[in-house]
Chain A
Amino acid sequence: MVTKFMTESAPNTKMSARDVKVFYGEKQAINGVSIDIDMDNVVAFIGPSGCGKSTFLRTLNRMNDTIASARVEGDITLDGENIYSSKMDVVQLRARVGMVFQKPNPFPKSIYDNVAYGPRIHGLAPNKAELDQIVENSLVRAGLWNEVKDRLTESGTALSGGQQQRLCIARAIAVDPEVILMDEPCSALDPIATAKIEELIHELRGRYAIVIVTHNMQQAARVSQKTAFFHLGNMVEYGDTSDIFTNPREERTRDYITGRYG
């Protein structure tokens, strides 16, 4: 397996996983995955349903902690620091490694409060003026400011699906994360809203390390510079997106991306 030989990390590595295994009770869902994620490249995880791509994504900010039967082995580091160490504050970790989900899930609060929520609980804004600034910056960066600046007090749930998803991205950005994990962020959106999210991912690249799980291979091809193909709990192949989609090394990758899988 490719992953076995990866031991040293590239200099600009943000997150690094080594021989990560995940178990749900007796069942092993991830069989020893090693990967480096850096600031310069959007990483896409692709693979058929049940291949483990979302499970692995969730190990990167310990979202699997919320599942009682889930157990994670191996090392995952953020800036060289083991995120599964007992010294790691999980709430802090999830601020540093933010997440955006498949279905937009704004809080049933105003647009403003959705974005202000994180900075408030993390004590990032000492006064109202600074909080206003964080909310505005986050909404601008999420490409939503012009659409909502005149109705910040309206409920976040009243926005369209695409706007809600950008609101969730603004909410993730508001706590100034270092990594953003996206789990099929566009699968509930129409093509225009999808294009806006993809453009947003492109603009956020470099400022944050970004990992996106997607079922849509064209989307992986459009937004990512690196692609990892997962199959049956293994990371079969990880490489430059342009190589994966034009000349994959592994037979299983080829079968999947050309639609021959199964």
Chain B
Amino acid sequence: MNHGQNEHTLKAFDGDLITLRGLIAEIGGRAEKAVEGAMMALANNDLELAHQVVEGDKRIDALEEQIDRMVIQTIALRAPMADDLRELVAALKISGVVERIGDYAKNIAKRVALIDASQHIEAARMLPAMADATRQLVDDAFTAFARRDADLAVAVCAQDKTVDDFYNSIFRALIAHMIENPEHVGAGTHLLFIAKNLERIGDHATNVSEMVYFAVTGQSMNERERGDDALAPNAD
């Protein structure tokens, strides 16, 4: 798509869109960093870092509000059409989705202090790899937005299956571990929630990609291109 190749006759409109894209890039970058920080805090039992992630979520919330205000203002003042309109609607929805990603990262960070670091739970050893795959999905989703890249958006949705597979594996491993080690049920449950949070973050990266696809092509991604649902028949 050759979006942005030719400018609007009204230059201020281009200015609005550039500012908005900058805000989306910032909120996406902060959400990705929050996921990374929360998982690093968990790996190193770093309570200070966990606290920073929790505090940093306020900035993500503020950005979401700023983006929403700006989208509404731009729709009201510029009366956008076609791909401009689709991009603004996508921006509005994406900001809401990213705010949720931030909340999940915050939730992970909050659990760091609640997990007894002395307990070694072998079943959770896949969590860092899952977190890495999830963070990459978020990164790719926002790259797709920045580049107006519908193909990358489709790829993100396909990749979400990797995160879902991780979740299902970790889910089964943690349940088995907790059955054998009842004294680990507390920490195990927290780890299970963390895996679930990561899985939800992956879903939200998919949502972002679907909005990117819509903004670029004017069509909704068809069912076939979407990733499968996380819950395998025997996962619960």
Task: Please list the residues of chain A having a beta carbon within 8 angstroms of any beta carbon in chain B.
Answer: 217-218, 245-248, 253-255, 257-262
Contact = CB atoms under 8 A, between A and B. Distances in A.
Contacts of A217: 79, 81
A254 B9 contact: no
B80 interface: yes
A120 to B, nearest CB: 44
Contacts of B9: 259-262
Secondary structure at the B interface, as helix, strand, loop or mixed, is loop
Most chain-B CB neighbours within 10 Å: which of A245, A254, A259?
A259
B234 interface: no
A245 B218 CA distance: 11
B79 A254 contact: no
B6 interface: yes
Contact of B84 (A218, A253, A258, A261): A258
B119 interface: no
A246 B8 contact: no
For the complex of A and B, the 3 pairs showing the least CB-CB separation, nearest first, are: A247-B218, A257-B81, A259-B8
Contacts, number: 39
B77 to A, nearest CB: 13
Interface string B1-30: 000001111100100000000000000000
28 contacts: A245-B81, A245-B85, A246-B81, A246-B82, A246-B85, A246-B86, A247-B82, A247-B86, A247-B218, A247-B219, A248-B82, A254-B82, A255-B6, A257-B81, A257-B82, A258-B81, A258-B82, A258-B83, A258-B84, A259-B8, A259-B9, A259-B10, A259-B13, A260-B6, A260-B7, A260-B8, A260-B9, A262-B9
Contacts of A248: 82
Most chain-A CB neighbours within 10 Å: which of B10, B83, B219?
B83
A218 B77 CA distance: 13
Given A247-B86, A257-B82, 18 more contacts: A217-B81, A245-B82, A246-B81, A246-B82, A246-B85, A247-B82, A247-B218, A254-B82, A255-B6, A258-B80, A258-B84, A259-B8, A259-B13, A259-B81, A260-B8, A260-B9, A261-B9, A262-B9
A262 B10 CA distance: 11
A37 B161 CA distance: 49
Interface of B: 6-10, 13, 79-86, 218-219
B200 to A, nearest CB: 30
A259 B74 CA distance: 14
Contacts of B85: 245-246
Contacts of A260: 6-9
Nearest to B78: A259
A254 B10 contact: no
Contacts of B8: 258-260
Contact of B83 (A218, A254, A261): A254
A255 B7 CA distance: 9
Most chain-B CB neighbours within 10 Å: which of A217, A254, A262?
A254
A262 to B, nearest CB: 6
Contacts of A246: 81-82, 85-86, 218
B8 to A, nearest CB: 5
Nearest to B219: A247
A246 B79 CA distance: 12
Contacts of A254: 82-83
A217 B78 CA distance: 12
A4 B79 CA distance: 33
B17 to A, nearest CB: 11
Nearest to B13: A259
